[in-house]
Amino acid sequence: MKLVEEQKLSPCPNNCDRCIKACPTESLCEAYTMNPLKCVSFLTTFGGRDLLKNSLAMQFGEWIYGCDVCQDVCPMNRGKWIGKEKFPQLEALSDILTAESILKMDEKTYKEKVQPKFFYLTPDELWKWQVNALNFMDNHFDEKYRSSIIESCNSSYSKVRKMATAICIKREL
């Protein structure tokens, strides 16, 4: 079943399929049409909580949370992002949003520093970030991630433990 909503959208440039070609999971199939169940943004934010069983998780690229590939390649977006908005304390967040830092993050840090900056997150979603960080580490495995992955096998979150354990088995850590 397809949900069709009438909107007045600018048509894509003739023969443009940059977003379709750039999408790492092939969630886009034609202009303004996508399958959210295959979309990296959807799978890392709202759905797809069992990344172990989702073969698309291996195609998430550099993304830990969300994805903007289609927006970045769209010629209609060229010059639209001009960086005038101010994001207070954004620099302070950059250090705590690395894959390793996300895995080591405690609830207090998440609730006080991260969650308030992302309106769509609930206070109890740290585990999602940690599962996504583990997925990133698995997809871009480097020995520097070894200890973080192994330590995550003892997480208080069952989905984080499962993901870390599966990676340890797969990578023989």
CA distances 35 to 75, 128, 156, Å, are 21, 21, 33
Instruction: Please report the pLDDT score of residue 146 as a whole number.
Output: 98
Instruction: Please report the pLDDT score of residue 9 as a whole number.
Output: 78
Instruction: Please report the pLDDT score of residue 84 as a whole number.
Output: 67
| pLDDT above 70 (res 48) | no
The residues, ordered by sequence, that sit 6+ positions from 36 with a Cβ below 8 Å of its Cβ are 27, 42, 47
Q: Is 73 left (phi over 0), alpha (psi -120 to 50) or beta?
A: alpha
The residues, ordered by sequence, that sit 6+ positions from 79 with a Cβ below 8 Å of its Cβ are none
11-22 pLDDT tens trace: 899 999 999 999
Phi (first) and psi of residue 105, to 5 degrees: -65, 140
59-107 pLDDT tens trace: 998 899 889 999 999 999 887 776 666 776 777 788 999 999 999 999 9
What is the pLDDT of the chain when averaged over all its residues? 90
